[in-house]
Copies of this chain bind each other. A is one copy, B any other.
Amino acid sequence: MKKINLKTQAYITIKQKIATCEYAPGTFLSEELLVEELKISRTPIRDALGRLEQEGLLEIRPKKGITVTPLSIKDVTMIFEIRKLYEPYIIKNYGSALDEGVLHKFCEDFSLTNKSSEWFKDNRTFYSLDTSFHQMIVNACQNIYLCQNYELIQTHNERFRFMTGNLSPQRLKDTLLEHLSIINACLKKDWEDASQTLSYHLEQSKQAAFRLIFDSPGNNHITL
């Protein structure tokens, strides 16, 4: 982080801390606190805060304070509703725009991960692979309004991952296999099949997310 301006640095840094729940949902922040923590003056901090509020990641109450937007079960539902609306639609209509080389690369990565014996210990690599896989699909539509919205949703989604802890090894394995099925359908250029497989995958992921929330009561700050 060298040549970009301070307000962008502040924006990226704070957003990252929100996404990873270093600033957990509901946390009370203040400009003063952030000034000290980031060693950046108020002006660029405030710029960043305004943008983050615009994105719904913060709530600024004049003369009272700033809180990190809380998460609730309802948010999981809303996020998955949008994903289930976007992703199958995109793969069905823009699947042909996907780069075959990239698909093969993902296929390889997922297969390798699947064969490795200790793969489930490195969750971070797994999640980043997962995120970029879905991102790749969405980007195929070339609709900036849609892509931008998806990216925003992904940030919220990431917060859930960090709040709820890790998925079960079984669910991780299933995720891998579901991804491979999607890729296979794409390589066969059967977009209808790809779309349906993706729908199924998202539904499974959603249910796994719910199980995680309900099975670990108290250890997270997710509101009902």
Binding site for B on A (CB under 8 A): 5, 7, 46-47, 50-51, 53-56, 62, 78-79, 81-82, 85-86, 89, 141, 143-146, 148-149, 152-153, 156
Interchain CB contact (< 8 A) of A146 among B51, B81, B148 = B81
15 contacts across the A-B interface (CB closer than 8 A) = A47-B50, A50-B50, A50-B51, A51-B53, A78-B143, A81-B141, A82-B143, A82-B146, A85-B85, A85-B86, A85-B146, A145-B149, A145-B152, A145-B153, A145-B156
Given A47-B47, A50-B51, A62-B5, A56–B146 Cβ distance below 8 Å? no
Bound CA–CA A55/B55 (angstroms): 9
Q: Is there an interface contact between B81 and A143, defined as CB atoms closer than 8 Å?
A: yes
Please state if B50 and A146 are interface contacts (CB–CB under 8 Å).
no
CA distance A144 to B72 in the complex (A): 13
Q: A144 to B46, Cβ gap below 8 A?
A: no
